[in-house]
Structure 1
Amino acid sequence: MLNLLRATGRRAQIERTAAAAGVNLDVIEAVDGQKLTDAERGLVDHRRRRRISPYLLSDNEIGCWLSHRRAMQALVANGQPMAAILEDDVALLPDFAQVLDALQQQSGRFDVVTLYRNFTRDTVFATCRPLTCDISLGRIAPMQTGAVGYVITRDAAQKFLAATPRFVHAVDKEMHRYWANGLDIYALNQPIVIHDDAGHSYLSETRLDHRPKDRLKYPDADALYWRLQRFGHRAVDSVCKRAAFPAYVRQGRNEDWASSLRKFIRLKGAAHQALPLSGPVRA
């Protein structure tokens, strides 16, 4: 469980729900976005990010990235086959322990399983296989967001860490971009953790979701050149995502997903290479 030292109330709350679920938590100190070093801020790949977003990653988004990286590094170091990683603003539902036991028996059959769900009107859940009597593994479209709770294998953590030495997207978006990163990600037909931040988002302290006009932008982010760059990359990403999803579902059911996704990853790479890397103004 990732916990900011100053978020004492959150730690107490999740420890109560964990005790009720019969679960012991290992606490990992989260990286506080209010205390970042210049070296930590320098991990953002601005050259790539400004082509996908007009906004800089906020300090708390970088802190969130570093926190999840810290948890994955701990998993790799301790040699366990997998781990459930939770943020401190979740509550555990009654099926939590049973589902984790079932996932432990599925070793080698997934990279990541998200334990939380964003329910929207256009969400599609494609069932792949049963996990328990009531809960199934499946794929979600459109892309799932949020990294408040997930199970990740040690091999997947190693692969993800190796592929992301620098940050471009927020950590939840980076992890769920299966058509680009090749991760074998499943969701649950019903969540076993719920988001419970008591109305206070630490991310929003520096991301300024409540004051979007005040969010920090790159220089000339609204210039026509950069707007066209972002439009082009969104279009390529959208096509690759939609093209990959049917194969992603089929291969999730057949448990032989990687070979079918490689061609979509190559397609995306080739399409991005066709777009210029630099513009009239550099970050």
Structure 2
Amino acid sequence: MQPSTSDTLPPVFVINRLKDNHRRADMIERLAKIGLSPTFIEAVDGYQLDIENLPEYDREKRRRYFGKDLKAGEIGCLLSHRKIYEKMVTENISTALILEDDVFFAEDFKDVLEDIQSTSLHWDLIRFVGHGKVFDTGFRRLAALRHEYSITRVPTSPSGAYAYLLTKDGASRLLRFMQKNWVPVDIIHSRAWQTGLETLLILPSPATPDLDGPSTIGDERFEKAKQITGVTKFLHPFYRFWYKLSNGAGKRLLYLLTWFKDRKSVIH
């Protein structure tokens, strides 16, 4: 689906828990400074869910591949994003800017949005995940935007779902992969070879996460202790090896296969 080229910017959806009033106020202020007005989407509180019996969670698959469960905060985050995708499909929203409530913006962020909307480049998902080593292994510059920004394709699978643009077609396809979940939402975003979404990044990113503040997802997701026994524990190393192998091969193969298409747009 090709994004609209009209002057109308997409709606801005911000995921926020009702109790996090200070985060909501901060996002209103930050977005107002760059000329954007948000619609807040009430976050799903994973800590209020019965995780073990949740129909949207594939606990056995998660444990086979990772040796531990998704945490309540991760599941709540995933279902919160899915809630917006369902809204986009149901309400026929062609494109949306989706944000978590801990994002900082460059002063020219709105200009980047306007330029993306007017580009002839096809995309389904544009991720603002330029922190860390995302671009260290190379990238293709596909379209130039104002203020020295570029739309790019990378050969990696970066994490982060704090800020991105999504089309309705992209939302519809993501929903197919989110009926029974075993990885966090940002990992689903990064597996473009599986979802089939035309997934691109902005370099440099005009949106960055608040890495210093507390996370509503919770830091327990970084715990490395395994939670498996018996046959699952025996098979886990084999599943884990296959996950890493297929993940590495998938992202590199996709980067290779898109070379012919991209060469018509690449900016040197």
The TM-score bracket by the shorter chain reads 0.7 to 0.9
Q: Which one of the candidate residues 73, 88, 93 is aligned to 2:106?
A: 93
CA distance in 2, matches of 1:253, 1:4: 43
Q: How does 1:93-242 map to 2 (within 5 A)?
A: 93-106=106-119, 109-120=122-133, 122-196=136-210, 198-207=212-221, 209=222, 211-213=223-225, 217-220=227-230, 223-242=233-252
> Which residue identity lines up with residue 190 of structure 1 in the other structure?
P
Q: CA deviation at 1:157?
A: 0.4
CA distance in 2, matches of 1:160, 1:245: 20
CA distance in 2, matches of 1:241, 1:220: 32
Residue 73 (structure 2) pairs with residue 60 (structure 1): yes
Measured against aligned partners, the alpha-carbon deviations of 1:184-203 in whole angstroms (never above 9, x if no partner) come to 00001111111115421122
Q: CA deviation at 1:80?
A: 2.3
Contact 1:118 1:144 in 2 (8 A): no
Contact 1:32 1:60 in 2 (8 A): yes
Q: How does 1:12-23 map to 2 (within 5 A)?
A: 12-23=25-36
> Which residue identity lines up with residue 254 of structure 2 in the other structure?
A
Q: CA deviation at 1:240?
A: 2.6
Where in structure 1 do 4 or more consecutive aligned residues deviate above 6 Å?
Answer: none
5+ residue gaps, structure 2, are 1-13
Q: Alpha carbon RMSD of aligned pairs, Å?
A: 2.3
Q: CA deviation at 1:239?
A: 2.0
Q: CA deviation at 1:146?
A: 0.3
SS in structure 1 at match of 2:200: strand
> Which residue identity lines up with residue 29 of structure 2 in the other structure?
R
5+ residue gaps, structure 1, are 256-283
Which residue of 1 is the match for residue 257 of structure 2? 247
CA distance in 2, matches of 1:67, 1:240: 27
- Give aligned-pair identity as a percent: 28
SS in structure 2 at match of 1:124: coil
Contact 1:54 1:221 in 2 (8 A): no
* Cα gap change, 1:196 to 1:22, in 2 (>3 Å): same
CA distance in 1, matches of 2:201, 2:178: 22
Q: Which one of the candidate residues 9, 21, 27 is aligned to 2:40?
A: 27
Q: CA deviation at 1:55?
A: 1.5
CA distance in 2, matches of 1:34, 1:4: 12
Which residue of 1 is the match for residue 57 of structure 2? 44
Q: How does 1:239-278 map to 2 (within 5 A)?
A: 239-254=249-264
